[in-house]
């Protein structure tokens, strides 16, 4: 395990340096591009008779459970760090467009992507049942908060647009989980869950995540308010994310939504009423470092995943068309 962690931290740091020094792309995108180029270089070396390095990196990649790493570890830290710097009063000002995009928008995007992907698969000669295409739509329709926060950090977008996009990306996971679970139930059981079951699932995942995130966020805010030592206050937020996300999985509520709500409370109520200037400086510095490091690791891993995928021109062509279909569905979702 130590070898695995050391290898990926060193490699990610090297890729980050190369991007900053020679390429100059936005950090997250630049690290992913350099990781893709690194993967292609390893494959090229393998083709000309030097397969050892590619085999070693591929062996390390096979030891990583990407889904567990992202969903159970990295996502909670990234969402909390992102929400920590979101102004709650701005979210309230745009609550209606944010709410509609995070609920109705996800439903529309799921249906549009489902039917478009069904058509694309048929175009390439693959007969994929529509229900599986809708499952894909539910997976891909919510905007990725990590990518959104990373992109908007350097974008010169108008404040209303930036606030709406960030707010939607932070809260649309709850809707997507419910839609995916309902569709997955249809695939597994061959029957549509009742309206009551669907409402209960949404209440447990989304509403439960909001309530639980509010409780642990407010409890941590009160603890921060009772001390005047920045080391303790930063450690309290770290414990909030690690312990809170673990409890979410035990309670079967949405950990992403809980971490967003907790981050909003600490970043607004805690920042304004419970922290002095020194604590704010160290709190911001610590969570910005966590955010940057985990984003770099995540996008480096995405780029290195190329080593594990068998190359197929037909798959590449279909994926390119699907990417356009997803972008089109996004346009139809936000169009007035």
Q: Per-residue pLDDT averaged across 184-189, rounded?
A: 77
- pTM for the predicted model, two decimal places: 0.84
Instruction: Flag whether pLDDT at 122 surpasses 80.
Output: yes
Q: In the chain, what are the domain boundaries? A: 66-305
Q: Which two tokens stand for residue 187?
A: 């695939």
pLDDT reading at 192 higher than 80:
no
pLDDT digits (tens, 9 = 90+) for 136-172: 998 888 877 666 666 666 667 787 878 888 888 878 8
Q: Which two tokens stand for residue 238?
A: 């770290």
Asked if residues 265 and 230 have their Cβ atoms less than 8 Å apart, the reply is no
Joined together, the tokens standing for residue 304 give: 């290195």
Residues in the chain: 336
pLDDT digits (tens, 9 = 90+) for 30-58: 898 899 888 888 888 887 877 777 788 88
Whether the CB-CB separation of 79 and 145 falls below 8 Å is answered with: yes
Task: Give me the torsion for CA of 148, 275, 224, 77, rounded to 10°.
Answer: 20
């Amino acid at each position: 395990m130590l070898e695995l962690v050391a290898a990926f931290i060193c490699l990610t740091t090297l890729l980050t340096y190369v991007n900053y020094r020679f390429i100059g792309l936005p950090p997250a995108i630049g690290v992913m591009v350099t990781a893709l180029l690194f993967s292609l270089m390893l494959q090229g070396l393998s083709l000309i008779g030097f397969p050892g390095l590619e085999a070693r990196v591929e062996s390390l990649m096979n030891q990583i459970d990407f889904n567990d790493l992202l969903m159970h570890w990295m996502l909670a830290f990234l969402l909390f760090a992102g929400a920590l710097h979101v102004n709650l009063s701005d979210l309230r000002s745009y609550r209606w467009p944010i709410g509609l995009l995070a609920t109705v928008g996800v439903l529309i995007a799921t249906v549009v992507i489902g039917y478009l992907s069904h058509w694309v698969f048929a175009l390439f000669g693959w007969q994929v049942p529509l229900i599986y295409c809708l499952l894909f739509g539910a997976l891909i329709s919510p905007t990725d908060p990590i990518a959104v926060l990373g992109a908007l950090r350097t974008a010169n977008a108008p404040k209303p647009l930036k606030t709406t996009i960030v707010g939607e990306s932070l809260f649309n996971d709850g809707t997507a989980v419910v839609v995916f679970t309902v569709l997955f139930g249809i695939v597994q059981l061959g029957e549509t869950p009742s309206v009551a079951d669907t409402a209960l699932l949404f209440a447990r995942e989304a509403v439960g995540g909001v309530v639980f995130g509010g409780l642990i966020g407010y409890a941590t805010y009160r603890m921060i308010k009772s001390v005047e030592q920045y080391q303790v206050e930063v450690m309290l937020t770290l414990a909030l994310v690690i312990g809170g996300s673990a409890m979410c999985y035990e309670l079967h509520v949405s950990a992403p939504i809980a971490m967003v709500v907790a981050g909003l409370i600490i970043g607004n109520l805690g920042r304004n009423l419970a922290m002095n200037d020194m604590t704010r400086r160290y709190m911001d510095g610590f969570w910005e470092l966590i955010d940057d490091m985990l984003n770099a690791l995540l996008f480096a891993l995405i780029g290195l995943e190329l080593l594990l995928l068998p190359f197929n021109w037909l798959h590449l062509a279909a994926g390119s068309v699907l990417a356009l279909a997803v972008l089109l569905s996004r346009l139809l979702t936000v169009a007035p």
